[in-house]
Amino acid sequence: MTAQTFLKTNPEGKEYLPSRRTVEIVGHELLTDSIVRLTVRDEYIAQHSQAAQFANLYSKNNQQISPRPFGIAEINGDEVSFIFAVVGRGTAEFAQLHVGDSIDILGPLGKPFDLSAPGRYLTIGGGLGVPPVLHAAEKLAGRSDATCTAMYGYRDVHFADDFAARYCDDVRSIDNAQGNVIDLLNSWLEEQQGEQQAQQDGRPDLSDVHILTCGPHPMMKAVASWAREHGVEAQLSLEERMGCGYGTCVVCITPTVDGNKKVCIDGPVFTREELGWN
């Protein structure tokens, strides 16, 4: 899927992205001491967002010029949920919002995961990389031609397993004291070897397996390496610091095999081949 945002069409037939707008806070939940699930009401994002897209949230502090990009985690009717960690002044401000408050928002932005192929999807999230793959699981739920297995790596608290269980056929998680997502992948692979008739090389057939992942770069590079080793397609949603979120400021540059790309509009989703993570 090519880089795009999801646009409206005006009466003259010209496409445009709805501008920054004010929306209502309709949900606030503390998942851990520092991780918040914030829900807003925004009909446009709810109707048009795709997995791994994000939205910009804007501070009410005029000294905080740049918005904060947050991956869309779930959609329920016209309600849009985000999951984020409190790491600075902006996120601390958003964490203090209450139901009935308002916030400015822009989106959906960025290139989404391509979920068009049938098959078995492994949605792999690390830490605060969970929201994009959770949204992917939500989009895959109920499809007769696809299954979804969630694999989440946490620092400590397993804060998203219950959300993933709404959509996935199987949810597996691990924290730093137990191991990492590669351990989960290897365990899953051993099960496939026991359940499937092996190919001529002794390996199970993984031709219908698709990996979707988001998280820290070292984790995603390890997942990409595992995918390459086992001949599995992998799409990676990059986490990069952004300024504007729509391609103007050129802050979120990442190297690819075709030169530097902007994560906000050329991504955040790239294949492992595009990134050269082979």
Same domain, 50 and 84: yes
181: domain CATH number is 3.40.50.80
Annotated binding-site residue? 214: no
For residue 212, give the nearest of 189, 230, 235 by alpha carbon.
235
Confirm whether 147 is domain-assigned.
Answer: yes
78: domain CATH number is 2.40.30.10
Q: What is the mean pLDDT of residues 15-31?
A: 88
Confirm whether 247 is domain-assigned.
Answer: no
For the stretch 267-277, pLDDT in tens is 999 999 999 99
Where does a domain end: 48, 80, 107? 107
Confirm whether 257 is domain-assigned.
Answer: no
Annotated binding-site residue? 149: no
For the stretch 170-216, pLDDT in tens is 999 999 999 999 999 999 999 998 776 555 456 789 999 999 999 99
Same domain, 66 and 177: no
Is a pLDDT exceeding 50 seen at residue 4? no
Same domain, 77 and 152: no
Residues 6+ apart with CB under 8 A from 45: 55, 72, 75, 80, 105, 107, 108
For the stretch 105-116, pLDDT in tens is 999 999 999 999
pLDDT category of residue 6 using cuts at 50, 70 and 90: low
Same domain, 138 and 198: yes
Q: How far is CA 216 from CA 64, 78, 155, 243, 273, in A?
A: 25, 30, 12, 19, 18
The range of the structural domain enclosing residue 214 comes to: 117-238
What is the β-pairing status of strands 54-58 and 68-76? antiparallel
Annotated binding-site residue? 148: no
Residues 6+ apart with CB under 8 A from 186: none
Same domain, 207 and 233: yes
Same domain, 135 and 61: no
Same domain, 45 and 123: no
Same domain, 32 and 125: no
For the stretch 34-66, pLDDT in tens is 999 999 999 999 999 999 999 999 999 888 888
Same domain, 181 and 199: yes
Is a pLDDT exceeding 50 seen at residue 2? no
Confirm whether 270 is domain-assigned.
Answer: no
Annotated binding-site residue? 179: no
Please report, for the chain, how many H helices and E strands are present, in that order: 7, 16
| pTM of the model as a whole | 0.91
SS3 9: strand
What is the β-pairing status of strands 68-76 and 170-175? unpaired
Same domain, 124 and 234: yes
Give the dihedral of Cα atoms 132, 138, 144, 148; nearest 10 deg: 50
Where does a domain end: 49, 80, 107? 107
Same domain, 224 and 135: yes
Is a pLDDT exceeding 60 seen at residue 132? yes
Q: Which amino acid is at 43?
A: E
Tell how far CA 252 is from the center of its chain.
Answer: 17
Confirm whether 32 is domain-assigned.
Answer: yes
pLDDT at 17: 66
Is a pLDDT exceeding 70 seen at residue 1? no
Query: Average model confidence (pLDDT) for the chain?
Result: 91
Confirm whether 258 is domain-assigned.
Answer: no
Confirm whether 126 is domain-assigned.
Answer: yes
Number of domains in the chain: 2
Same domain, 123 and 100: no
Where does a domain end: 56, 80, 107? 107
pLDDT at 12: 57
Confirm whether 103 is domain-assigned.
Answer: yes
Q: What is the mean pLDDT of residues 84-102?
A: 95
